[in-house]
Amino acid sequence: MGRRRPPLVLLENVAGFFTSHGGRDFEQALLALNRLDYVVDAFLLDAAHFLPQSRERLFVVAQQAGADSAEPRESAVRPQRLVEFIESHPKIRWRIQNLPAPPESTIPLKQLLEKDAPWWSASRTEYLLNQMSERHRAIADEKIAGSRWVYGTVFPRMRNSKSMAELRTDGVAGCLRTPRGGSARQILFKAGKGECFARLLTPRECARLMGAGDYRISGSSNQALFGFGDAVCVPVVEWIAENYLNPAVNELIHAGTIGPL
């Protein structure tokens, strides 16, 4: 891009990129940014801090200016394994910035659900229950016998060449995914008062789990699910902008690297 190269770059990837090929892929990506005259920083942030969805992602900030770097220390966004990676790669030109602890979400999963979405038939729900392991079925039966409604999510998984249903009832949805295979579609589970119900999460519910509840959804349901499964969580990026990107831009303006916006 030559002179059009941006002075500040934010990259996002799945947390597994950090450990891919023993960390070599991550190392080479950061060194490539160094060769483009960027200093780099990295942290992990989970959407569960903002919304009831477990979605940890790796973020890299690269900027063309600034030499001061904080000492890497273990925190909510830099677990020990990331601190150790930073300390063990002195050839990478780091510019570590201290970040505050992210908030803790107070939004329950049930608050984001559509009230009129149709549930599966009793036979289809029973089939789902029968796909659970003994441990997960015991948890489901416990929730069914409870005196109040409990909401959870289920992912179909292949275990030892057998389709299994894995239940999660901690009030946080699993990570939304692109619907490429049978294990990608997340199932909503409602249990209590001697009953249970199940159905797929709707596109609107997925939008809400990504912090984009008012987004205008067009196209097919599958296209919408693919889009949200491959997107970034809005409040996560808002937090990064407020606590990292905006101060970095102001610093670049002050240094004369870029003009006032």
CATH architecture of 109-229: Alpha-Beta Complex (3.90)
- What stretches in the chain show pLDDT beneath 50? none
Residues contacting residue 168 through CB under 8 Å, at least 6 positions apart: 152, 153, 154, 155, 174
Phi-psi region of 18 (alpha: psi -120 to 50; beta: other; left: phi over 0): alpha
Domain map (residue ranges) of the chain: 2-105+232-255, 109-229
Cβ–Cβ under 8 Å, residues 13 and 61: no
Give the number of other CB atoms < 10 A from CB of residue 224.
Answer: 19
pLDDT at residue 65, rounded to an integer: 73
pLDDT at residue 259, rounded to an integer: 66
pLDDT at residue 156, rounded to an integer: 86
pLDDT at residue 158, rounded to an integer: 77
Please give the single-letter amino acid code of residue 33.
Answer: L
pLDDT at residue 260, rounded to an integer: 65
Distance CA 209, CA 225 (A): 12
